[in-house]
Structure 1
Amino acid sequence: MKMRVFLLGILLCSCIHAAWAFNHDYSQTWVSKLFLSKPDPAGGCIVNLTFEQALEVIRVTDNQSLGIPKIVYLVGWQYNGHDDKYPAFFDANPLLKRPSDKTALESLRWLMREARKYHTTVSLHINMTDAYDDSPLWDEYVEKDLISKNADGSLKVIGEYNNRKAYQVNYQREWEAGYTQMRIDKLLALVPELKEAGTIHSDAWIARPSEGHNESVINEALYQQRAALYWKSKGIDITSEWVMDYMIGYVPYAWHFNGFNQADYLKYPASVYTGTGINPDIRSSDHALGFLFGTSCYGEPIWKGADYNAWKDALVKDFMLKVPQYFFLNRLERDSVSGTGENRVAWYSDGVSVSLKDSTVVQYDRVLRNRNTVCMPAVWRNDRGMLLYCEEGCPDGSFDVPYCWGTAKKAELYLITPENGLVYQREVTLKQGKLKMKVEGKTPYYLIPSRR
């Protein structure tokens, strides 16, 4: 904790000029990762999705999510898959190529263009930190002393992936040698569509000291900020895996939001810094904050293969129980939290409260969520619609409708399907702001107030 505060205190003054101006509103975007491939430990490559199959996953997901704004970062798009050949990231995995294209890079660029039809920005999952000894850049990085070192002068190993040791890139020395800039410039030249995407994701982007160079973690963090600003100068937001307090103003989004505590959520609005989820493997984290302040849907663990029938139910559940609430709460002002532990209640503007003990979201006297039953406004759409989902089913359910429906007495009922999006069912009657109807379990519905 002391190091966290210390880093922020030292570096905060240098991040004020960043002004939190980003290309995307990450608080109103479903940000996810799509896993494509990884090296096979026995040799070769394990493919989860080709570029062509990835587009079909995106199309189906767009239907299921009713055109919600999306950013999808492609994991394992390069070389032989995920965590392969860093610090180089200058070619696409040939096994992901479309038959009609000459190169996999052409297929990657095609996917990025085509995905725009489905309210989706496709970008890349890269790594600015790791270096492997089979990389095309390895000899240069060793020769030019661009790898961090331990006190005894040995190269700093930070992990092992795909049966290879990962070494820490030295941010200061890489920057001063011009290799940070070279990597960024070369990738943008290879994939011009990145400039329109306006975002990129850096996995495991962590500052560490280089004792063998007498460089502190704070020094490395300063050069990490320089890299973020260089991406920004090229028109690209860079996002990260973990929350970093010293990158507030430089990075708008983190994949794992474990680093934020309750006070941080109240201090920094989602429009400044937000994230997809709280990693459940980090047991020391306050996981309840995900419900109190909203958490999104990772997507990556669910999209296993091209057959959507194998994962659509899991996606529907995770999406419906997380993303609409995340979008809804992110638009409100976070006022305060009362109570402690499991008795906490988060209070928002517009009469909204979130109770941890009751697992409810309430606006004034209307219940928008009661445990795993949600009737949440789809705030990203302009039709005043409401999502209705009941995990266990409600044979004789009664549901509150949003205040924005006014005095509407009828609503149009739709099923949400992965094949066709909204499929009209019938007109239903409302009485005093309530809807009474049978709801099938694990089935997503959408209702729009009738204009008649």
Structure 2
Amino acid sequence: MKTLFYILITLFCLSCSMQNKLEEITIRLDKETLNPVRNPGERGTLHVTGRYSNGKTTDLPLSDIALSVRTVSASGNVEVIALSGDQLIPKDGGLAEVTAVYQKDGATYQAKKRVVVAPYYRDYHQTLVLKLFMGYDGELNEPDPNNVIFQHEDPSRLCTFGHALDVVKRVDNLTRGIPKIIYLVGWQRGGHDHLYPDWSIVNPKLKREEDATALESLRWLIREARAYNTTISLHINMVDAFEESPLWDTYIKNDIIARDANGNLKSIWEYVKGHKAYHLSYTKEWEKGFAKPRIDHLIDMIPELKDGHTIHIDAFMAYWQPENRPLSPWHAKPENGGIDIYKEVETQRKIFKYWREKGFDVTGEGIFWAHPAGEGFVGLQPMSWWFPDDKNFQMEIPERLSARGRTHREGQGDFRFGSSMQGEEIFQKDLANLPGFLSQFCTMTLPWYYLSRLERVAFVDEALYYSEGVIARVEDGKNIIRKGDFILRENDNLFVPALWNDNEIIAYSGDGYESHSWLMPEGWEKVGAVDVYSISMNEPARKLSAIPVDNGLLKLALGKGEAVSIVPAGQSLTR
């Protein structure tokens, strides 16, 4: 009997052991994004969890687990994350991957988890970034029918600083108070592409009458725009140089201006008559000690810029693309310094980090453009326009690490990934009426903002799967973005929560419709009626009151190109 009893006990224990077999391990992080700029000293904590065949889970001792970390994507392939016990220590900006390996009962288990280090002052994936063109002095060297700037009566003062605040107010109304950054183009004397490398003289043509100087007007604009959810900053350039610049003679004397292979100065373009542009070498400027003071002086001159924590560097290239040559062929020769495109990129990284040290993010107009192959300044440049179509890159790099503005100069881009807007071409065309602005905002920025806060999980059969159950794909010939039965987009009909405001939905229609029933999103289950406000350049006006929501459905009618804000009945509308 004892023998049978022991056999039964043994079988029972074996059965329990089999039921409690470890099936998989997973890595759990308390923070999947670290920001050492806004949160100095911030670290992440790592746990490895085992899941057993009986459905139970438990944290495994890290002493029994082999942990490693690698950089997935970062400019210069720098170390993004270091491990110390269960702590993730951010080292530099980029995307990293943690791997855990665990062995038990003759089996080996592995888990991976990615972590982002985004060392930025601003959340560009949740910000509308625009450019506002102020002015351009001179006469075109050759006729350019595509340049609407010079079709105006006075291109040199397309938008004054006083007028710019009116634009800011109207844009804030059109965008329902979404956080915005607007970079001013042509804010310096002479307007766009003048005076470089100098940044010390604000364009007097843009001054308000009530101010003593144009600098006072610019600083006034930056302060006033804050009341309209708008950060005003500057569009600058660090690669071009012009003979009329106050710094020209100094830069020539110190051998900073780029030269051709024979050592001669060579203009790269002359868009405006008599206004020849030259390149300079970032590395020569940095080594000669002129780059930091140039940056410092601009910040000291306009201290209001510090609060915005952002600057835009135009044409931040590492080589001259039309000829696929170094910025300065003369200095690229070994005997003259060996400053090739790779050395210029090393200096560009120093420039990025110096701006960051001074409290600024640096945005640009492109990545993988006029740089060595594969250089997208991941972890350094938080946002750019004209984003690459490379689906692999877009799937790998989260929007919060490398955000996009407008992705294509024409059209809306790939609706599945989303695209914001730039606004510059609209401002240039008609500052008074802003034609097409509302359409671009609603069909591009609005869904992009919603999607950018999610993780891109998988791209399968032309469908893009996001976290939180969101999917973007073509269904029955229509561009659809949905979360379960809740449809945010059906071609150019949009019904999207305005997540920067409390309890607000923006609806828009490109062609208009007489009647369309929209399913309300999560969180609106208890809302029985809504108020509808028109969206325009003016303050929002109530269009309809207490419209019933029946069984979670809201019936709407919209005109062509019309947008409205929808809030629970009786709720005041947030600006």
- Normalized against structure 2, the TM-score is what? 0.71
* Distance change >3 Å, CA 10–CA 377, structure 1 → 2: closer
Q: Distance in 2 between matches of 1:369 and 1:45?
A: 39
1:32 aligns with 2:130: yes
1:199 aligns with 2:297: no
* Distance change >3 Å, CA 47–CA 249, structure 1 → 2: same
Residue 442 of structure 1, CA deviation: 1.4
Q: Distance in 1 between matches of 2:345 and 2:182?
A: 27
1:17 aligns with 2:92: yes
* Distance change >3 Å, CA 324–CA 85, structure 1 → 2: same
Match of 1:235 among 359, 363, 370: 359
Q: Distance in 2 between matches of 1:322 and 1:288?
A: 6
Q: Distance in 1 between matches of 2:525 and 2:171?
A: 31
User: What amino acid maps onto 2:525 in structure 1?
Assistant: G
Count of residue pairs brought into register by the alignment: 432
**Deviation per CA, 1:273-295, whole angstroms, max 9, x where unpaired?**
012112337xxxxx886311111
* Distance change >3 Å, CA 10–CA 20, structure 1 → 2: closer
Q: Distance in 2 between matches of 1:242 and 1:25?
A: 18
- 3-state secondary structure, aligned to 2:200: coil
Larger deviation, residues 361-370 vs 98-107: 361-370
User: Residue in 1 aligned with 2:402?
Assistant: 273
User: Residue in 2 aligned with 1:403?
Assistant: 522
**Deviation per CA, 1:284-337, whole angstroms, max 9, x where unpaired?**
xxx8863111111211111247853x22x4111111111110110001110111
- 3-state secondary structure, aligned to 1:326: helix
Residue 255 of structure 1, CA deviation: 2.4
User: Residue in 2 aligned with 1:377?
Assistant: 497
- Higher relative helix content: 1
* Distance change >3 Å, CA 42–CA 360, structure 1 → 2: closer
- Normalized against structure 1, the TM-score is what? 0.90
Unaligned residue ranges in structure 2 (runs of 5+): 1-72, 81-90, 94-116, 142-153, 320-325, 334-338, 369-374
Residue 39 of structure 1, CA deviation: 1.2
Unaligned residue ranges in structure 1 (runs of 5+): 1-7, 282-286
- 3-state secondary structure, aligned to 2:457: strand
Task: Choose 1 or 2 for highest CA Rg.
Answer: 2
Q: Distance in 1 between matches of 2:487 and 2:74?
A: 41
Asked whether the 8 Å contact 1:375–1:400 carries over to 2, the reply is no
Q: Distance in 1 between matches of 2:204 and 2:75?
A: 45
Asked whether the 8 Å contact 1:199–1:238 carries over to 2, the reply is yes
Q: Distance in 2 between matches of 1:385 and 1:33?
A: 27
Residue 238 of structure 1, CA deviation: 1.1
User: Residue in 2 aligned with 1:114?
Assistant: 224
Q: Distance in 2 between matches of 1:332 and 1:9?
A: 21
Q: Percent identity?
A: 34
User: Residue in 2 aligned with 1:284?
Assistant: none
- 3-state secondary structure, aligned to 2:427: coil
User: Residue in 1 aligned with 2:160?
Assistant: 50
Match of 2:467 among 345, 349, 356: 349
Q: Distance in 2 between matches of 1:103 and 1:288?
A: 41
Structure 2 matches for 1:76-115, cutoff 5 A?
A: 76-115=186-225
* Distance change >3 Å, CA 246–CA 315, structure 1 → 2: closer
User: What amino acid maps onto 1:207 in structure 2?
Assistant: A
Q: Distance in 1 between matches of 2:404 and 2:556?
A: 35
Match of 1:216 among 340, 358, 377: 340
* Distance change >3 Å, CA 10–CA 55, structure 1 → 2: closer
Asked whether the 8 Å contact 2:516–2:557 carries over to 1, the reply is yes
Residue 14 of structure 1, CA deviation: 6.8
Larger deviation, residues 391-400 vs 185-194: 391-400
User: What amino acid maps onto 1:436 in structure 2?
Assistant: K
Structure 2 matches for 1:35-434, cutoff 5 A?
A: 35-41=133-139, 46-155=156-265, 157-163=267-273, 164-208=275-319, 209=326, 210-213=328-331, 214=333, 215-244=339-368, 245-257=375-387, 259=388, 261-280=390-409, 290-304=414-428, 308=432, 310-311=433-434, 313-339=435-461, 344-356=462-474, 358-382=478-502, 384-423=503-542, 425-434=544-553
Larger deviation, residues 241-250 vs 23-32: 241-250
Larger deviation, residues 313-322 vs 195-204: 313-322
**Deviation per CA, 1:367-402, whole angstroms, max 9, x where unpaired?**
1111111001101112x2111111111112222221
Q: Distance in 2 between matches of 1:161 and 1:235?
A: 34
User: What amino acid maps onto 2:290 in structure 1?
Assistant: Y
* Distance change >3 Å, CA 381–CA 235, structure 1 → 2: same
User: What amino acid maps onto 1:369 in structure 2?
Assistant: R
User: What amino acid maps onto 1:406 in structure 2?
Assistant: E
Asked whether the 8 Å contact 1:277–1:290 carries over to 2, the reply is no
CA RMSD of aligned residues (A): 2.2
* Distance change >3 Å, CA 451–CA 110, structure 1 → 2: closer
Residue 433 of structure 1, CA deviation: 2.4
* Distance change >3 Å, CA 45–CA 135, structure 1 → 2: farther
Looking at both structures, which has the greater relative contact order when contacts are Cα pairs under 8 Å and sequence separation is at least 6?
Answer: 1
Q: Distance in 1 between matches of 2:231 and 2:525?
A: 35
Q: Distance in 2 between matches of 1:306 and 1:131?
A: 30
Q: Distance in 2 between matches of 1:49 and 1:126?
A: 17
Q: Distance in 2 between matches of 1:377 and 1:122?
A: 26
**Deviation per CA, 1:189-232, whole angstroms, max 9, x where unpaired?**
11111111110000001012233122221110000010111111
